[in-house]
């Protein structure tokens, strides 16, 4: 049993029943010149967590945690992309358009791939998700249930969108969730901070949070 000094109180888990879920550490979101930057965002907060996510991956692998990596991406024909998602707002580039790293959020395009230093290794699960939450229209729940997973550690981007959505999905399914504070980021730092506070409010209503340094 591992105990983490977390907020709002200690988080305890058995490595054999725990998975690390790394959300959407994709080139188009994290790297300069990618889709995120083309929308006018400063990607430096996202790029800044890459070393911490690397350390978290190494820590988890050394302790035998099951590791899950997610990517938000769609089929080339966009058959899994609802029109409401593609057509909302007035962006310069929409899902499926040609962007700085290929077609935006299309599976198989360079920008939809992982930051190279965070790529999965043999035995780790890669989930390609068409929505914000990693449980929607994927095999994640079945895989976790088959493995007897009860606890989830989270990292990735962005904190208030895909990370928080997946944590709330997991919470509704009965998983005990811990978000690693310095292994998650947003284009909007205030949104990240608000999400951390929402997650751990009211006695860990969604889950726990802790910095990487709190892991023993």
Catalytic residue among 28, 81, 132, 162: 162
Do residues 163 and 53 make contact, with C-beta atoms less than 8 angstroms apart? no
Q: Is 85 a catalytic residue?
A: no
Is there a catalytic annotation at residue 162? yes
Query: Does the pLDDT value for residue 151 go beyond 90?
Result: yes
pLDDT digits (tens, 9 = 90+) for 86-127: 998 888 889 999 999 999 999 999 999 999 999 999 999 999
Task: State the first-to-last Cα distance of the chain, in angstroms, to the nearest integer.
Answer: 11
Of the residues 81, 129, 132, 177, which is catalytic? 129
Model pLDDT, residue 38: 84
What is d(CA 78, CA 189) in angstroms, rounded to the nearest whole number?
31
The pLDDT value recorded for residue 43 is: 97
Tell me, yes or no, if 24 is annotated catalytic. yes
* CB atoms closer than 10 angstroms to residue 178: 26
Integer Cα distance of 3 and 211 in angstroms: 13
- Percent of residues, the chain, with pLDDT higher than 70: 100
Catalytic residue selected from 24, 81, 132, 177: 24
């Amino acid at each position: 049993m591992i105990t983490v000094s977390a907020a709002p109180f200690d988080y305890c888990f058995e490595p054999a029943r725990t998975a690390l879920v790394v959300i959407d550490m994709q080139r188009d979101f994290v790297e300069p010149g990618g889709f995120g930057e083309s929308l006018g965002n400063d990607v430096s907060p996202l790029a800044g967590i890459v070393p911490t996510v690397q350390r978290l991956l190494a820590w988890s692998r050394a302790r035998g945690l099951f590791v899950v990596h997610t990517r938000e991406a769609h089929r080339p024909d966009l058959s899994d992309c609802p029109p409401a998602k593609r057509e909302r707002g007035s962006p310069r580039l929409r899902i499926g358009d040609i962007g700085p790293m290929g077609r935006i959020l299309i599976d198989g395009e360079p920008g939809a791939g992982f930051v190279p230093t965070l790529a999965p290794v043999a035995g780790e699960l890669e989930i390609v998700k068409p929505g914000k939450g990693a449980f929607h229209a994927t095999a994640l729940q079945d895989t976790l249930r088959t493995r007897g997973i009860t606890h989830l550690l989270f990292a990735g981007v962005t904190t208030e969108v895909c990370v928080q959505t997946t944590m709330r999905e997991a919470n509704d399914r009965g998983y005990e969730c811990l978000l690693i504070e310095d292994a998650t980021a947003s284009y909007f730092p205030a949104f990240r901070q608000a999400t951390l506070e929402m997650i751990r409010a009211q006695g860990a209503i969604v889950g726990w949070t802790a910095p990487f340094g709190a892991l023993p």
